[in-house]
Amino acid sequence: MLAKELYPFMQVYALIIGLAVGSFLNVIIYRLPNNKSIVKPRSKCTKCDSQIAWYDNVPVLSYIALLGKCRKCKNPISIRYPLIEFICGMMTLMLLNIYGPSFEFIVMILISYMLIAITFIDVDYFIIPNEFIIFGFIISIISHSFKLLPITVVQGFFGSLTYGGMLFIMGAMGTFIFKKEALGFGDIKLGLVLGSFLGIELSLLALFFSFIFGGIMSIILLIAKEVGDDHMIPFGPSIAAATLLTILTKTIGGGNHIINWYFTTMWNGEYFF
Ligand SMILES: [Zn+2]
């Protein structure tokens, strides 16, 4: 085990790495759906096209220093950039504290970054790019090949069937009821990939939350009249948020706080009237 004295340094590193990844995710979210190169041209202002100097590209801090405005053209910079950086930084720090310095931590943080990027792309474009599905699939193959997860490959396989299969069934039912495509095929593919990391039990938990989040989001969007004429509401963000919540509520040994709470408190009848 690593010396306890090293933990504060690791946490600072985790935060910095998370912020930097968030900065990179901003580039992916902006460029991937538009088929632009992710590595090539340096970051530019989306309004005036001027190159952004490195000191104006420091995650979160530059946004605060610039008061949210481009140095050249003074147009506002979207709050989304520092927000995504902040979310990635905090996610990395929290997952390090939950999973400890382990391979499982690395797997879970990679999946989390993927889910954060998917959320914002799905909100903007109503698509889950195949690149993410392939990325998740490769991470899944590596994780199970080297046994980096607390579940077996068989549990992963059934988790995959559970998550993807349930989404497929719900989507088919939705299509039947509403007479139009209710869930995209991208959502089902994402479910197949995510289930392989979670196993059956956690997949069911994530599914449960994804439907709650999806319902809440639909109601908010309908009230705010943010739903377009096609009545499309992206389900990817709900799947992502539900899976992140499931990942964040893990207990040592592969269990889950919410499932434990359910079986110890709810099941004992304490909350039944
Ligand atoms: Zn500008």
Query: In whole numbers, what is the pLDDT of the chain averaged over residues?
Result: 90
Q: How far is the CA of 37 from the centre of ligand 1 (A)?
A: 20
**Distance from Cα 56 to the centre of ligand 1, integer Å:** 11
Least reliable range by pLDDT among 39-48, 117-126, 225-234: 225-234
pLDDT(116) > 60:
yes
What distance in angstroms lies between residue 51's CA and the mean position of ligand 1's atoms? 8
- The residue extents of the domains of the chain are 7-101, 103-268
Residues with CB under 5 A from ligand 1 (ion): 45, 47-48, 70, 72-73
The residues near 4 (Cβ < 8 Å, ≥ 6 apart) are none
Q: Is pTM, for the whole model, over 0.85?
A: yes
b (16+ CB within 10 A) / e for 17-27? bbbbbbbbbbe
- Is residue 123 within 8 A of residue 239, CB to CB? The reply is no
Q: How remote is the CA of residue 43 from the centroid of ligand 1, in Å?
A: 11
Averaged pLDDT, 242-250: 95
Distance (angstroms) between ligand 1 centre and the Cα of 127 equals 28
